[in-house]
């Protein structure tokens, strides 16, 4: 028999329980039959600045979605090509090509539905790609011999090294927020031409307002020459000569947080592979592949090649030069070879001139090369020109020829859309005082900077010719910021 509750407080409590129960049941029923639609819980690129290393974004929903309803209703402006993949409530969109730099993007998703057919709440967001920027060595006034950072997107120019240093060469860290550089004291003369110290220049660190310069390797006991930086930023390889003994010539490795030490190997031109663990170095009549460890044994030797030009970003392919020393019929010809880890080795180009440099596009489907051809009537003179080589077909497309060259420096942009290069004006002889020199020792009088935009069918279907643009700044040895 039901016992009647007589206390007022008990009556109120019972009524509250009944009321809350009804509300909960109502919410459940409403959610089941008339509930709010699905929504986006997280968008990994929301309000972010992304670069060439950002290959995909992720959308996370609050429930399982109909895949086609999402992929068919995503709108990105300007458009980006890519592929969709799913894992539960998470959707990934992987780009077919690196994102073009210097762009603002709008992201919209409307009309998508969950597995029960309920339409989602409209979702709108935005993101942008990194500004298009590069560094170069200045040649005029207070910029002379100093490193300059130029932001093309915002048209901002900034001197980033101190006035008492003259920069000879530099390389960006893959993150783009630091630069490895070699520099010598400003008052240049014969005695200190080789007093090149190695520095790390940190561009953005803990909210700093100005770049911070850190000495990594001095030149007190050793003369520092060429260097390379690993992709992970943890290892530097430097060519060094003992000042008290010129025969003491070796390749040194400098790992982050450790003392520098000589690598038990010698050779000529070298390059660190994208795995950050392997060094490709010209040795005798071939290319040696060495692990970046002091006492490690060689990994391989490629006797058919004399120089490594470039690696693809993923490290699965490389471009080499064969000087054809073993063939009398090709003695005066150089060959460009493409080699990959699947065992493919193919000759892409053979010429009587020089192959100055080659760079893979981000997808490793093409090579952009700066080469020269001899003038028949003037065998000592060569005309430089840029070419695009399709790796699959071997087709070579001439882009543009240049009137002359003196150590042309060129760099392919991170999105693979633009080639940046310099055109140096020189004269023979120099005073060694406050004088910028080419690698051949000629005095640099002037240097212009240029943008070369190759024709890209997927990006510019109406364009069948390369576009050339001179920049309103003067400098040399330009490099794009990653």
pLDDT tens-digit profile of 350-382? Answer: 998 899 999 999 999 999 999 998 776 665 678
Q: State the CATH number of the domain containing residue 86.
A: 2.60.40.1220
Tally of domains in the chain: 2
Q: Which domain holds residue 123?
A: 40-129
pTM (2 d.p.): 0.86
Report the 10 Å Cβ neighbour count for 349: 20
Q: Is residue 78 part of a domain?
A: yes
Q: In angstroms, what CA-CA distances link 302 with 308, 311, 348? A: 10, 15, 18
Same domain, 33 and 88: no
- E strand map for 154-312: 156-159, 165-172, 178-185, 197-202, 212-217, 222-229, 235-242, 245-255, 261-263, 270-272, 278-283, 286-291, 300-302, 307-311
Strand, helix or coil at 318? Answer: strand
Same domain, 71 and 111: yes
Same domain, 93 and 71: yes
Per-residue pLDDT, 7: 62
Residues belonging to the chain: 482
d(CA 318, CA 184): 33
pLDDT tens-digit profile of 94-150? Answer: 999 999 999 999 999 999 999 999 999 899 999 999 999 999 999 999 999 999 999
Q: Is residue 53 part of a domain?
A: yes
Per-residue pLDDT, 1: 43
Mean pLDDT of 189-212: 75
- Residue whose C-alpha is closest to residue 279's, from 303, 305, 249, 311: 311
Q: Is residue 93 part of a domain?
A: yes
pLDDT tens-digit profile of 286-315? Answer: 999 999 987 778 889 999 999 999 999 999
Q: Is residue 353 part of a domain?
A: no
Q: Is residue 392 part of a domain?
A: no
Mean pLDDT of the chain: 87
The last residue of one of the domains, among 64, 99, 129, is: 129
Q: Is residue 27 part of a domain?
A: yes
Q: Give the least confident one: 56-70, 118-132, 142-156, 397-411.
A: 397-411
The last residue of one of the domains, among 129, 157, 179, is: 129
Q: Is residue 55 part of a domain?
A: yes
Report the 10 Å Cβ neighbour count for 202: 15
Same domain, 70 and 116: yes
The rounded Cα 349 to chain-centroid distance in angstroms is 25
The last residue of one of the domains, among 113, 129, 145, is: 129
Q: Is residue 226 part of a domain?
A: no
pLDDT tens-digit profile of 301-357? Answer: 999 999 999 999 999 999 999 988 777 666 678 999 999 999 899 999 999 889 999
481 or 436, which is more confident = 481
pLDDT tens-digit profile of 243-282? Answer: 888 778 889 999 988 899 998 777 889 999 999 999 999 9
DSSP bridge pairs for 49: 128
Q: Is the pLDDT assigned to residue 431 strictly greater than 80? A: no
C-alpha distance across the termini of the chain, in Å: 81
Same domain, 28 and 44: no
Same domain, 52 and 118: yes
């Amino acid at each position: 028999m039901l016992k009647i509750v007589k206390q007022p407080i008990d009556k109120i409590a019972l009524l509250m329980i009944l009321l809350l129960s009804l509300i909960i049941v109502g919410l459940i029923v409403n959610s089941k039959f008339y509930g709010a639609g699905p929504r986006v819980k997280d968008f990994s690129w929301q309000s972010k600045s992304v670069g060439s290393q950002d290959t995909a974004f992720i959308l996370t929903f609050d429930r399982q979605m109909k895949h086609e309803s999402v992929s068919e209703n995503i709108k990105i402006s300007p458009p980006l090509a890519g592929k969709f993949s799913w894992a539960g409530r998470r959707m990934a969109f992987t780009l077919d090509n690196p994102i073009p730099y210097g762009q603002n993007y709008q992201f919209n998703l409307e009309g998508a539905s969950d597995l029960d057919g309920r339409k989602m709440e409209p979702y709108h967001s935005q993101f942008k790609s990194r500004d298009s920027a590069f560094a170069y060595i200045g040649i005029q006034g207070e910029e002379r011999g100093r490193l300059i950072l130029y932001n093309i997107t915002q048209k901002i120019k900034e001197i980033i090294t101190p006035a008492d240093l003259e920069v000879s060469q530099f390389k960006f860290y893959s993150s783009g927020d630091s630069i490895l550089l070699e520099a010598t004291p400003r008052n240049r003369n014969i005695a200190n031409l080789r007093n090149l110290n190695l520095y790390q220049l940190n561009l953005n660190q803990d909210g700093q307002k100005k770049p911070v310069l850190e000495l990594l390797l001095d030149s007190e006991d050793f003369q520092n020459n060429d260097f390379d930086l690993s992709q992970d930023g943890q290892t530097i390889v430097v060519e060094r000569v003992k000042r008290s003994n010129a025969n003491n010539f070796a390749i040194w490795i400098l790992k982050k947080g450790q003392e520098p030490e000589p690598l038990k190997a010698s050779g000529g031109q070298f390059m660190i592979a994208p795995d950050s663990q392997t060094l490709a170095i010209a040795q005798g009549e071939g290319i040696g592949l060495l692990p970046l460890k002091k006492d490690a044994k060689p990994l391989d030797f490629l006797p058919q090649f004399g120089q490594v030009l470039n690696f693809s970003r993923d490290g699965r392919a490389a471009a080499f030069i064969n000087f054809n020393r073993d063939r009398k019929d090709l003695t005066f010809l150089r060959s460009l070879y493409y080699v990959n880890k699947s065992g493919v080795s193919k000759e892409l180009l053979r010429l009587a001139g020089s192959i100055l440099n080659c760079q893979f596009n981000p997808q490793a489907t093409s090579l952009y090369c700066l080469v020269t051809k001899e003038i028949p009537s003037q065998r000592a003179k060569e005309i430089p020109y840029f070419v695009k080589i399709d790796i699959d077909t071997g087709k070579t497309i001439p882009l543009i020829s240049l009137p002359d060259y003196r150590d042309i420096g060129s760099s392919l942009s991170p999105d693979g859309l633009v080639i940046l290069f310099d055109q140096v004006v020189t004269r023979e002889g120099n005073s060694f005082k406050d004088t910028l020199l080419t690698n051949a020792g000629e005095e640099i009088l002037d240097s212009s900077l240029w943008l070369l935009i190759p024709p890209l069918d997927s990006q510019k279907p109406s364009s069948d010719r390369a576009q050339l643009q001179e920049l309103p700044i003067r400098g040399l040895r330009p490099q794009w910021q990653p």
